[in-house]
């Protein structure tokens, strides 16, 4: 019988759930998801609105590593729509240093009294050999 071979590295992921009442753990309404190590490659990112954010006004969820805008990986998930899903846009990004990844919640208008968003960012970390 043939021996099953596995290929490394495996896909790792960061998962962040943001509830309407959460307080950002970083500046500018950003929530830190994790730190990508130098040489990591993003393979997917998905944002899903599990429960619509219940308030009038504009609410947008983004994911990124580009400073205060945090939108170069995933952009413009409209939070008023339950089950809204936005697929990956940042797979071509390369990281020459360890890089923090944030989810950003941008709000304008009346404060929400309900709402849940979930973001999953899948990536392949560098191997010990650096490839």
- To the nearest whole percent, how much of the chain has pLDDT over 90? 12
Q: What pLDDT is recorded for position 15?
A: 94
pLDDT (0 to 100) of residue 37: 92
At 16, give phi and psi (nearest 5°).
-135, 130
For residues 78 and 99, what is the distance between their CA atoms, to the nearest angstrom? 26
Q: E-assigned strands of 52-115? A: 57-64, 74-78, 85-86, 99-109
Sequence ranges of the domains in the chain: 12-124
Residue 54 predicted with pLDDT over 50? yes
Quote the tokens at residue 74: 């995933």
pLDDT bracket for residue 130 (50, 70, 90):
very low
DSSP character at residue 23: -
Angle at 83 between CA 71 and CA 123, to 5 degrees: 45
Predicted local confidence at residue 23, as pLDDT? 66
Instruction: Give the CA-trace dihedral at 61, 69, 27, 88, to 10 degrees.
Output: 40
Mean pLDDT value across residues 55-61: 69
Any idea which architecture 12-124 has in CATH?
Sandwich (2.60)
The confidence band for 98, taking pLDDT boundaries of 50, 70 and 90, is: very high
Q: Is 46 helix (H, G, I), strand (E, B) or coil?
A: strand
């Amino acid at each position: 019988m043939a021996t099953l071979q596995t290929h490394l590295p495996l896909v790792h992921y960061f998962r962040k759930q943001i509830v309407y009442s959460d307080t950002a753990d970083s500046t500018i309404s950003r929530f830190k998801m994790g730190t990508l190590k130098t040489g990591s490659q993003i393979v997917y990112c998905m944002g899903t609105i599990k429960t619509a954010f219940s308030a009038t006004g504009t609410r947008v969820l983004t994911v990124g590593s580009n400073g205060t805008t945090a939108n170069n990986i995933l952009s413009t998930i409209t939070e008023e729509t339950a089950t809204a899903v936005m697929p990956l846009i940042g797979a071509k990004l390369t990281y020459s240093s360890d890089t923090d990844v944030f989810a950003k919640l941008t709000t304008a208008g009346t404060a929400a009294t309900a709402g849940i968003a979930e973001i999953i960012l899948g990536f392949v970390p560098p191997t010990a050999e650096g490839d």
